[in-house]
Amino acid sequence: MVTPTLRSIARATALVAALLLLVGCDDKGEGAAAVADLTLREKIAQKIMLDVRFYCVGETVAGGARDGMGRGKNCTRPVTELAPALAEMITRNSPGGVILFGDNLVETAQIVRLNHALQGAALASGSGWPLLLAVDQEGGRVNRLPREESASFAGNMAIGATYPEHGVAFARSSAAAMSEQLRALGFNTNFAPTVDVNSNPDNPVINVRSYAESPQVVAELGAASVRAFQQGGLAATLKHFPGHGDTSVDSHTGLPRVERTLAQARATDLLPFRQVIDAAAPALTMTAHIQYPALDDTTLVSRHGEEIVVPATLSRKILTGILRGEFGYRGVIVTDSLHMAGISDYFTQEEAVVRSFAAGADIALMPIKVRFPTDLYQLDRLIDGVVAAVGRGELSERDIDASVARIAELKRRYVDRDWVLGAVPEKVVAARQVMASPAHRRVARELAQAALSAIYPVSPGVLPAIDSSVDSIQVIAPTEHVGEAFRLALESVSAARVEILAPQVAASSMAGGGADLVIVASIMPGESAVERGGMEDLPALRRVTLSPERLYGEYRRVLETARANGSKTVFVSMRSPYEAARFRALADLHIASFNYKAFIDRDNRLHGPVYEALAQALTRKAPPGGRLPVTVQAGLAPIAPPGS
């Protein structure tokens, strides 16, 4: 943590004066007055946002694995307090921002101290500019705040399911609550909402992060969310431009390609971006690492000598031509993480940054990894490389000035001077009050209940699935945590005996006779890297117990066995609703919850609105009130059972 000195206090005072000066800048100036005193190096640094997710000093790797430089091959020690070396790196270079992940965010007081220390390091730098402190807090699949302390909200597709009955109410109320939470903790930027139109059921990375398959619904909900975030003082981010919804490849692991015509692109993927920009003026827009030949079929040569269609992140036609020129967007353009394989497999760190800046991006997100002491000067070298690119004429200093002016204006609007310069103890007290807000928890419960959707029409007599005749319930749960959350929720509404079974043993356990009610809970497809954090999580994600084919085969066996036993059957799609088509003929009731996240505290109390909502819905005669915002096919060819 950086200790205030006379020098840092003087810089903080100068910062306040500079920010107050910026208040008087007109829109035409876009914060240009703040750029004049920066060196070229400082300007480029403002265009870079780092992560400080992990940092290791000395031997921290199990087994003592070393690379050729004598370092541990992997670092998984989360940064929960700012190491002096990281603070010095920030002070030395004055980067424009830092993004934090769930690993960095343990509890309220710790988060406040970490964010305060990060801002302190930035204030002590040569520029004295504060940081954009960013996080991916979308709700649902992508939730970074600790669930034991703060209300957590279902994600976008859950909100989309409430739209027919509630309009934009939940988009507005959940974003307003998240804005209060993040601001209290010291964040000023949220990389949300996602306004991709999920038109591909096999999309592994967007899917339920999308509001709907209707571009107009996505636009209306996205605009409401942006307005609520920004009215709450938090910079919102549209992502992922020009639209990641029709892909079947995760850009964390590859480079997706969208095969639409130009007319289709304008009617589907581009429509929400254009409408939200017009209606809500989002502070930031994030690029997508996708190829979209209908928008730009220019080719580049990769670092391996391969000729490829330019990714949107590096396309001047897409970022400057369409987003700025055609759509008139005046906010800040930030790249998606440049760690991701959709860029890093094809371009060096410096190439990716220079090309993204040349395309029109204002901020390069996570272009380098700082994990060990030997990484601490990577940022210096990267900035030097971009300075050299300006000298070679690859980048225009005039464009850089305009870009940094947009960043200055963003900071003027959204950096909370009182928070940055205030005392930590008072900020901790205030943040704890916000995190404990009963109003936030009420919104989370109401959203979970309103979002539950029957995937297919409910036959007469199916509901209530739990009544006085049900003495035993079996839940087939993909993880112990999901199973325990179901147990606690079901025991709160019924006196029935609840048994939790793993998918691979469930059918054989039921062979001798089943329960009155069998619930199959599915969270397929599996997690993508974005849910846990990023590229460094891929090795863990690949270690799955059962393949999707095997798991679906087990679910089928379970439902067939339950039906033979005369049990009632419920299939709950807790992630993607599309999968229910495989089991339509085998379950009496199919429910989409769009979310499966929960927290069980030390006293074995459940903090999981989605499980509570599901348990209550199964005791009611009326079907759930949500309406599926995507089309699920009438039926798919089922995956064959294991061994067939």
CA distance 156 to 631: 16
Q: What is the pLDDT of residue 147?
A: 87
Provide the H-helix boundaries in 232-295. 262-267, 270-280
Return the CATH fold of 440-618.
Rossmann fold (3.40.50)
Residue 345 annotated in active site = no
Q: What is the mean pLDDT of residues 8-13?
A: 49
Whole-number average pLDDT of the chain: 90
Q: pLDDT, tens digit, for every residue of 26-50?
A: 444 445 567 888 999 999 999 999 9
pLDDT exceeds cutoff 60 at 67: no
What pLDDT does residue 546 have?
Answer: 74
Do the first three CATH levels of 6-141+164-417+429-435 and 440-618 match, i.e. the same topology?
no
609-618 and 438-451 are packed helices; what angle lies between their axes, rounded to 10 degrees? 50
Residue with tokens 């204030």: 123
Domain limits, the chain:
6-141+164-417+429-435, 440-618
**What pLDDT, on the 0 to 100 scale, is given for residue 537?**
61
pTM > 0.75: yes
- Of 336, 516, 537, 588, which residue is the catalytic one? 336
What are the strands of the beta sheet with 472-476, ordered from one edge?
453-454, 589-592, 568-573, 517-522, 472-476, 497-501
CATH of domain 6-141+164-417+429-435: 3.20.20.300
Yes or no: say if 488 and 475 are a contact pair by the CB < 8 Å rule.
no
Determine which of 10-24, 255-269, 295-309, 417-431 has the lowest per-residue pLDDT on average. 10-24
- pLDDT higher than threshold 50 for residue 481: yes
The answer to whether 307 and 299 are in contact (CB under 8 A) is yes
